[in-house]
Structure 1
Amino acid sequence: MHHDPLLPPPVARALEEYRHLLTEHGITWGEPPLDYVRMMTFLRFPEEADRMDIGADLDAAFRDVLGETLPDGLVALRLTPHGHRFEPGAVRAVVAAEPLRAVLIVDSSRDAATAVEVDGTPYEIRARGALFVDIRSDSVVTVDGEPVDLSPLRRHAVPSRLRLRAGFPCRWSVTSEGGQGWYPGGAPHRVDYHGSPFFHGDDVVLDVPAEPLTVRVTRGMEYDCAEVTLVPEPWRETLVELTPERIYDAAARGWYGADLHVHLNWAGDLVAPPAAAALMQHGEDLHVLNLVAGNVSGERVYDREALQHWAGRDLPWSDAGHIARMGVEYRNDLFGHVHAFGVTTPPGRFHTGFGGEADWPPNGTACGEMRETGGVLAYAHPFHAPITEPEEIIGVGRRNCSARAVVVDAALGLVDGMELLHFSDIIGTAEVYRRLIGAGNRLTALAGTDSMLSFTRQETVSSPPGWERVYARLDGPLTAEAYVEAIQRGRTFATTGPWLELCVDGHQIGDTLDLSPGDRVTVRAKAIGPEVQRMEIRTADGVLAEGGGGELTAALTVTEPTYLVAITSGGRHPRSLHRQVYAHTSPIYLDVAGRHVARADDVRWCLRWLDLLEELVRGQARLDGEEQLRDHLDLVEKARAVYRSRL
């Protein structure tokens, strides 16, 4: 009996189990209802979700932030004192028998409760209440036993067919009037952060209406977007040959881009097999993909079986220019999440602090254990707001996944880097990163999108892997081991799209120059990408040079040890699947008279952070006894001694 190499029996069994969870519980897969689990269903409409109050009645909270125009994919059933009214939003065309999917908001302005049934499930809508529920165009919906006519949801269009060819795997978007997306048969109906439908492949066929269509194609951040509009002939197949233009070729320069934080399955509206990751990695031309096993809010670790099967080995679709590995996301919501790439065996533990369990052992202990499995470690999605003072990192101690413990683990050499680019606040994260490297911690700038292939529509989560990348410079062929070494050597920059270079007198990112007081160096930074609006070169003391993009050169007379980094930024841009454009290098270090950078202001900033972290541990951590508390405080004290030695 021959097994599919992408579906070894333990992985196939796990996916079957996930399908049962999805069928039984819907998008949350029955995970314990922490706030981010409760919000999953609403984050399909990110603008509205951002304005919601996370209270007891999320359905009503969502209804209360809706404007007059319904967002794409949402339909409404208004219950009025005089009857009910169905609002289909944008009417969608159909060319096949497959039913349309939609989300229904039931909105009652009645002063009494109303009985509503959706596909056999009864709901009682309280007075002036609301209900948020998934439906299809063939669903049966009743109000007080009276059927609701859902036919306005759809209109029948004259069918046609497209064949799309680029010559290599790409990301495609096919839209008709109103931005309605069209997909090949069987392809998940994925939507990115900007609301654009997409799918991956080459030489793909899809049924479409014989109406004006826009076809777009791109292939990750090294390519531009090509676009054509056409009206295909009814009942005929039309060939569209369209190839995106390359903006830069990183691999030709010895640089390879990675997304170090991608989940295959993590709850969601579908179950994602490994083949989905293979299709997307090649369609985005993503050189390195780290698929992490991790929990959501309970005990279950998703994709643990895939990690156990493939740990330490390239996944079957890897080739000379693309490597995929199974990795780990170790999670504690109070102290931060850590991802590991290149592990050779699964770790002994994947999480602490969930379901009432203790916040023990400390993250540093878990990092030490994961280190022994051969990987590189980094704090994931570290910070979620602008930060100027350590008090803003600790906050009120909410379990919001902030990387509060990175100040300890960086000082003790237990992590290699941190995600500068992720789904949340880039500017706040970069500010803290520069404080940490200014205080003498050798941390590499990394990127991880936290894309989840089991979600087809949910803010940044449903965008394709690699919409942010860390590029690392390798000396030879692309291998997982070479990539681990490049990260450990700090030879990286993180980007939402722009290419970014930095050199100091011929030395590259990750290098250290040994200088004497009074030595003068020349610094050059260069960016490629139509989205770049601003460039900076920074030292530990702040901005050394700034300009409008393209290229920057500056001279620096060195008196104290410092570092140099380059940064590019810009506003919202189609090439960036985020709120902004951004790229940031790892440092080039300038040691002076044998001394490494340890700026006193940054060291004191980190010492203040440690004091606040100790207060948090004593006051907010869930710990079973003095021994567990002592384990945390021992690591804090060791880190404190390291920082004090740098003053």
Structure 2
Amino acid sequence: MGFGQPTGNLRIRTIDDENDKPTPVRVRLTQSGKPIPALPGEAVAVSYGLWDHADGYAFQPDSSFYIDGAFSLDLAPGNYQLTLSKGPEFLRQSHELTIEPGVSLQKTFRLKRWIDMAARHWYSADDHIHIRRSPSENEFLLNWIRAEDLNVGVMLKMGDFWATYYPQYAFGEQGVYQRGNHLLTSGQEDPRTPELGHALGFGADASVRFAQSYYYYDKVFDEIRRRGGLAGYAHQAESFHGYRGLTLDGLRGKVDVLEILQYCVSARPLRTEQYYRMLDLGFPLTAVAGSDFPWCGQDHEHGTPERTARIGNARFYTYLDEPFSASAWQKAVAAGRTFVSSGPMLDLRVNKARPGDRLDVKPGDSLTVTVHAYGQAEQVPLYALELIAHGQVLNRVTSNEPGQSAEHLSLIYPFEALQRGMWIAARCFGDSTQAAHTTPVYVTVNGSGFHNPKTTGKYLSQSEEYLRELEKELDTHRDNPEFRAWYYKQGLKSRIQETREVIANLRKRLAR
């Protein structure tokens, strides 16, 4: 604003339509498509950035900012566009505002849900947020996740061969900060290597790092689990050759969780190739998801204002049958009671079993699978709902069919005269960036496995190919200091041999 130019004032309040209370929201204010550089004093600000640098503070990567229910800002006269959002369960709002000189424009906007998943006992989480945290940041960061309508924000300390980033002041119970049905907790993305992928862990009572044996992920996984946490792989086990690490550790029973929905690998966030491989081989894995803020967005390389890194853009929901708390949430995640989502909501039942449950039946028994998907016609329009068993689509409905709609898709599918176990899951698609997928229900017959006999040969051969690929990497001396797997050749080759023994035993056992 130039010197002496008359200004007007904008005063905004945001109210939760359900309880009439002020509510934190995400705000984006633009004029002719360009963000306003001025920032209200009420903006909730925390320093964040790539590699733990101070790249951002109050403004988010798309030039939006968070508020805790209200803000005021002096603006030059003119027309402005205001966008308010609060995660996928609330309806995003856009408003045209006119500021006049010397006039205070006061507006109150009510944020309305189209669905309340917590009321259905499903609690949302982003398992992959990189922001350094001390106790003084807790309340600010809690408002960030409340503004995105997340119940759990997992703040990850990050590491590589050389150093660690985004420190957390405490882990386990000491690292939990909770207010109502919203909490922050600590975890780690470490080890991270270009040859084996990025490891993920949360819930342990301490961060775990073995600097002198950095490439032995299994040591970290074992210790995280010993300390009460869960461990697994990030980025769909695709980027940074994560499928190698997943093979090495997953086939030896070291892996609890796998991120299967995220915008780091592709603008289409749901990627299940490695997930289905492990499930078909008979290894249960809990599906999780996270934003990898501030690194990944829907268009991380060529971001537009609506398509950049954003907390909660990939999330997962966990079903709790007890009051919400950090320990109850982690117990339910460990049980696999989850589905991942970037918009659509899913409800899968196999008889009465939910995702993560193990259901043992007798030969010849029948099952009934019921799946519902929920969306919102304008902002989360559903297109297709699919029932998946052993990686194959058994039934599919679309919003164009009679009895289906962009807001609700459903199907009922009978399994008759079961003779063999299987894993059963559901997935749903909206627009190109909106998808959801459940952790499976694991069905066994007389205590047998749930593996897929039609694909085990293929997937075991693929796993062996990944091991050969890793061996080739180990036999290549690299001068680039970022690639250090060759330095741990002996230890990794012994782990490869252990994995080959697992594969050989699986071939024998699964053949029977």
Return the TM-score normalized by structure 2: 0.81
The structure-2 alpha-carbon separation of the partners of 1:264 and 1:556, relative to structure 1 and needing over 3 Å to count, comes to same
The structure-2 alpha-carbon separation of the partners of 1:160 and 1:639, relative to structure 1 and needing over 3 Å to count, comes to farther
| AA aligned opposite 1:277 | L
1:636 alignment partner in structure 2? 499
Contact 1:169 1:202 in 2 (8 A): yes
1:42 alignment partner in structure 2? none
1:561 alignment partner in structure 2? 421
Aligned partners of 2:177 and 2:99: how far apart in 1?
35
Residue 587 (structure 1) aligned with residue 440 (structure 2): yes
The structure-2 alpha-carbon separation of the partners of 1:639 and 1:243, relative to structure 1 and needing over 3 Å to count, comes to farther
Dislocated runs of 4+, deviation >6 Å:
none
Cα offset for 1:218? 1.8
Higher radius of gyration, 1 or 2: 1
Matches within 5 A, 1:121-520: 158-166=6-14, 167-181=22-36, 183-185=39-41, 188=57, 190-191=59-60, 195=62, 197-265=64-132, 276-295=140-159, 299-304=162-167, 306=168, 309-313=169-173, 315=175, 317-330=177-190, 331-349=192-210, 360-384=214-238, 400=240, 402-423=242-263, 424-425=265-266, 429-452=271-294, 463-520=309-366
The structure-2 alpha-carbon separation of the partners of 1:642 and 1:629, relative to structure 1 and needing over 3 Å to count, comes to same
Cα offset for 1:374? 1.5
Cα offset for 1:231? 0.3
- 2:398 corresponds to which of 548, 568, 589: 548
Cα offset for 1:499? 1.2
| AA aligned opposite 1:494 | V
Cα offset for 1:168? 0.9
| AA aligned opposite 1:159 | T
The structure-2 alpha-carbon separation of the partners of 1:157 and 1:263, relative to structure 1 and needing over 3 Å to count, comes to farther
Per-residue deviation, residues 473-532 of structure 1 (Å, max 9, x unmatched): 112122222122111111100000111101122222222222233322221111111221
Contact 1:191 1:462 in 2 (8 A): no
2:51 alignment partner in structure 1? none
The structure-2 alpha-carbon separation of the partners of 1:412 and 1:453, relative to structure 1 and needing over 3 Å to count, comes to closer
Cα offset for 1:625? 6.8
Cα offset for 1:162? 1.5
Per-residue deviation, residues 376-432 of structure 1 (Å, max 9, x unmatched): 112100255xxxxxxxxxxxxxx8353322123222221111011112245773132
| AA aligned opposite 1:452 | P
1:605 alignment partner in structure 2? 458
Structure 1 residue matching 2:436: 3-state secondary structure: strand
Contact 1:226 1:245 in 2 (8 A): no
Cα offset for 1:222? 1.4
Cα offset for 1:263? 0.2
Aligned partners of 2:488 and 2:111: how far apart in 1?
60
Cα offset for 1:276? 4.7
Aligned partners of 1:232 and 1:587: how far apart in 2?
53
The structure-2 alpha-carbon separation of the partners of 1:175 and 1:436, relative to structure 1 and needing over 3 Å to count, comes to same
| AA aligned opposite 1:190 | F
The structure-2 alpha-carbon separation of the partners of 1:401 and 1:615, relative to structure 1 and needing over 3 Å to count, comes to closer
Where does structure 1 lack aligned partners over 5 or more consecutive residues?
A: 1-94, 98-155, 267-271, 353-357, 385-398, 573-579
Cα offset for 1:201? 2.7
Contact 2:232 2:258 in 1 (8 A): yes
Cα offset for 1:298? 5.9
Cα offset for 1:560? 1.9
Contact 2:122 2:317 in 1 (8 A): yes
Cα offset for 1:458? 5.6
Structure 2 residue matching 1:190: 3-state secondary structure: coil
| AA aligned opposite 1:242 | F
Aligned partners of 1:214 and 1:585: how far apart in 2?
37
Cα offset for 1:563? 1.6
Cα offset for 1:582? 0.5
Moved more, 630-639 or 507-516: 630-639
1:34 alignment partner in structure 2? none
Aligned partners of 1:263 and 1:639: how far apart in 2?
35
Percent pairwise identity: 25
Aligned partners of 1:442 and 1:638: how far apart in 2?
20
Aligned partners of 1:286 and 1:475: how far apart in 2?
18
| AA aligned opposite 2:281 | A
- 2:473 corresponds to which of 620, 625, 631: 620
The structure-2 alpha-carbon separation of the partners of 1:341 and 1:157, relative to structure 1 and needing over 3 Å to count, comes to farther
Contact 1:169 1:200 in 2 (8 A): yes
Contact 2:236 2:272 in 1 (8 A): no
Return the TM-score normalized by structure 1: 0.65
| AA aligned opposite 1:444 | T
Aligned partners of 2:188 and 2:201: how far apart in 1?
5
Aligned partners of 2:246 and 2:495: how far apart in 1?
13
Contact 1:255 1:473 in 2 (8 A): yes
Per-residue deviation, residues 245-299 of structure 1 (Å, max 9, x unmatched): 1011111111111111110059xxxxx955552331121121011100013x662
Cα offset for 1:434? 1.8
Aligned partners of 2:286 and 2:296: how far apart in 1?
29
Contact 1:175 1:181 in 2 (8 A): yes
Contact 1:410 1:443 in 2 (8 A): no
Aligned partners of 2:415 and 2:161: how far apart in 1?
52
